[in-house]
Chain A
């Protein structure tokens, strides 16, 4: 017989030592669409249950070998967590016997003579209960599994954080910090490193959210920071790069409140940018406290166009200190639910007699305030000390950084020949060499303008012999460039040479750019005398304004410019 389509096939085990009763029950059950298993005594019933796991069991009470009550006990044990309803088939009427049946695990009775309607109703009802029980067990198991996954995730997140924050220059003598594992887990990140010039750059970040979502943002922040600091990128560039990355990675609504500081121990000043963190404190030698409040939006909120990386410059004397923190300190609560707050923080500074112990005093006063039974370590604290640079002057992080910052003194000569004039642009190639000089990176835009202008002049006026006065009016532009294309493709002789030479000094370096061409030259004086509204005359004038020196040599087909850069640009 087949079960009806909307109901799973129910398997019923019938255990009765009387052949007549068995036959009748089997017929009734089959007619109702159930699958029937037969046992003739208690032992067979237990064996059959173990082998086939029926949904419902009908047990006669008095049976040879193993009676119904004992069989019921064994079956309940085999069923374990599952609900397997057991109905006793009985014509027993005395209360004692009935109670004994229920105590053994029986769920109900079916009396003789069997009533098919009642039997069906009971089977349906108990099957519903069984299904509910099964669903509950499945959901319980699912929850347990999810919990385990969740715990795993937290462990992974913690490992990620540990790896991230151990990458930098945390042992710098001017830096003391306290970062509790709990706050790290909750999204606080601290990175610190020394720039090639010997400055200490430190960043404290506080990501919204905690656990794995916060870790997701911390990774690009840390890898970008360490990668760029070692190469000599400026604080501005690093901030902009991190902001851009976080903006594109983090979902809307997630961001990173951060403060970044670059300390210059030779000039006794620091640059600081605070986006969303509580005010940093400058602790002066005379005991006063200056607050550096947040004046920017957190990282990851604004797109690059709107992002403002302007930092504040603060002069500091030896012995003075800067304190950075996330809101863990201010929001630390005591038993009464009060917050530590700014007032207590300022009071701690006020009470302090010796700046060298303030760091420990701050931690202690928060611990005392919060009380012993609560988590009193849920905070991040950084102290930076302005002091003379030590004899171990510069220790950039890695060997790789060392080798990269050694592109100090070099020169190159690059000659562009006729077949390259039409299609080849040497600028990107030359720029990429210049970018390997850490000090020149900030100037890449300017250098591009200078070299590009000199090259264009040399190629167009020098080699191709184009007259720039054609460009005096707007219509002339199109004609000029058409002419340029034609001549560049046609020419078979000539060259443009670009020579670059670089030297470093104590305070920076200088780049010499010499562009020479095979043309007849021109007279610079004449060009500059031209009208200021000249579209083309602006070229060399612009270059002259951008460089430290500009000189035309020879017949006018050699132009030499020098460009100086400084360590603190």
Chain B
């Protein structure tokens, strides 16, 4: 398990207050959107497209940060920076870890759906 908590529950709590009845809709959006991002990241990495990888990682990082999925932020940042420097070597591993962690986050968030 990573040192950071999977989800920062204070962030999630204030988000719940803000979204009100739309909260579960938000969670749903986040989960679907994130899967899409991870998919893009996979494709970009496979085809060696640093720019596309960078953008996808950046976007994913942003929404994870907003949701409070802090554990995912660091890995995304790593991928983003590597892609920005066009150094894609070894990123497959990071991406796999990222996907795995995301799976756990999804489970935890499922409660709110």
* Shortest distance between the CB of B36 and any CB in chain A (Å): 9
Q: Which of A110-118, A256-264, A485-493 contacts B (4 or more CB under 8 A)?
A: A110-118
B86 close to A (CB within 8 Å): no
Q: Which of A19, A21, A31 contacts B18 (CB 8 A)?
A: A31
* Shortest distance between the CB of B81 and any CB in chain A (Å): 10
Decide if A62 touches B55 in the complex (CB within 8 Å).
Answer: yes
Classify chain B's interface size. Answer: 20 to 34
- Complex Cα distance, B18 from A20, in Å, reads 13
A residues neighboring B (CB under 8 Å): 17-21, 23-24, 27-28, 31, 60, 62, 64, 91, 112-114, 116
**Residues of A close to B22: CB separation below 8 A:** 23, 27
**Residues of A close to B25: CB separation below 8 A:** 23
Decide if A113 touches B18 in the complex (CB within 8 Å).
Answer: no
Decide if A23 touches B55 in the complex (CB within 8 Å).
Answer: no
Identify the closest chain B residue to A67 (Cβ): B55
Contact A28 to B18, CB < 8 A, known contacts A112-B62, A112-B65, A113-B66: yes
In the complex, chain B residues 46-73 whose Cβ is within 8 Å of any chain A Cβ: 54-55, 58-59, 61-63, 65-68
Identify the closest chain A residue to B19 (Cβ): A27
**Residues of A close to B14: CB separation below 8 A:** 116
Q: Which of B20, B55, B58, B67 contacts A20 (CB 8 A)?
A: B67
Q: Which of B11, B20, B29, B68 contacts A19 (CB 8 A)?
A: B29
B33 close to A (CB within 8 Å): yes
- Complex Cα distance, B59 from A18, in Å, reads 6
Q: Which of A24, A60, A114 contacts B26 (CB 8 A)?
A: A24
* Shortest distance between the CB of A12 and any CB in chain B (Å): 15
Decide if B55 touches A91 in the complex (CB within 8 Å).
Answer: no
* Shortest distance between the CB of A64 and any CB in chain B (Å): 7
Decide if A18 touches B18 in the complex (CB within 8 Å).
Answer: no
**Residues of B close to A60: CB separation below 8 A:** 62
**Residues of A close to B63: CB separation below 8 A:** 18-21
- Complex Cα distance, B61 from A31, in Å, reads 25
Q: Which of B11, B59, B68 contacts A62 (CB 8 A)?
A: B59
In the complex, chain B residues 12-56 whose Cβ is within 8 Å of any chain A Cβ: 14-15, 18-20, 22, 25-26, 29-30, 32-34, 54-55
* Shortest distance between the CB of A29 and any CB in chain B (Å): 10
- Complex Cα distance, B19 from A60, in Å, reads 21
* Shortest distance between the CB of B22 and any CB in chain A (Å): 6
In the complex, chain B residues 64-100 whose Cβ is within 8 Å of any chain A Cβ: 65-68
Decide if A24 touches B65 in the complex (CB within 8 Å).
Answer: no
* Shortest distance between the CB of B46 and any CB in chain A (Å): 19
